[in-house]
Amino acid sequence: MKFLRHVFVMAALALYILIPRIEAVKADGPTQELINSICIESEDYELCNKIIHKNLKAPATNLKDLTYIIFSIAIEHASDTYIFIGNILRELTDHEERVGFNICLNVYSEETAIFLDVRNEFRHKDYERMILDISSTIEILKNCRVDFGIPPYMENPLIEKNRVMKILINMSTVSGRMVKNGNASLLSSLVSGLDSFFFQYLTN
């Protein structure tokens, strides 16, 4: 039995070594500028930047592809959190805790459904409806209160999950509005405007 277990461990280790690991794609200059334009509006620039880079498919990615990626990440995070809450609920016996978690379960069910709609609206270029739907998600998220403890966690794990969801909503809002307004890069527009201002100032 020990021999078989040893063989299994060695086989698993060999697979780990041989299978190429997926590394974050390094964005090219224009793509990073787009990412900066989105993440500069975030309360956590580093996390925003990391989330996008982790999910990039190619170094050169345009605004619409970045936006689609962000919407897909939001769907994944919302659905994963829904499953996470459901698993915790199975173990909870305290009525008050169950009430709080059931509310959050419904919140993340709505978040998932709305972002699926958002992605579909994006595909069909229904940008007005897309922006309205994204805007509604931040108010829905507020219903998931996290001011209660969950043994054995030292801190309610939904605090961080809500924070990430809020950041994803912000990212979706910024990139969605950039698409709607036809702004390939808010940051480059700002820089160009400043360059023009200083050029005029220096030549006057």
> What is 61-119 written as a DSSP string?
--HHHHHHHHHHHHHHHHHHHHHHHHHHHHH---HHHHHHHHHHHHHHHHHHHHHHHHH
Would you say residue 84 has pLDDT above 90? Answer: yes
Instruction: Say which residue, 122 or 188, is predicted with more confidence.
Output: 122
Question: Residue 9: which pLDDT band, with cuts at 50, 70 and 90?
Answer: very low
Task: List C-alpha distances in Å: 199 to 186, 193, 194.
Answer: 20, 10, 8
Contact 108, 81 (CB under 8 A): yes
* 185-193: average pLDDT: 42
- Note the pLDDT tens digit of each residue in 119-146: 999 999 999 999 999 999 999 999 998 8
Contact 81, 165 (CB under 8 A): yes
Instruction: Say which residue, 125 or 61, is predicted with more confidence.
Output: 125
Half-sphere exposure of residue 36, counting CA atoms within 13 Å on the CB side?
14
Distance CA 105, CA 47 (A): 24
Looking at every residue in the chain, the average pLDDT score rounds to 81
CA-nearest of 168, 61, 181, 171 to 108 is 168
Q: Is the peptide bond before 30 cis (omega within 30 degrees of 0)?
A: no
Residue 184, pLDDT score: 57
**What are the structural domains of the chain?**
25-203 (1.20.140.40)
Would you say residue 199 has pLDDT above 90? Answer: no
Would you say residue 30 has pLDDT above 70? Answer: yes
Least confident window among 35-44, 85-94, 124-133: 85-94
* 172-197: average pLDDT: 65
* 64-74: average pLDDT: 97
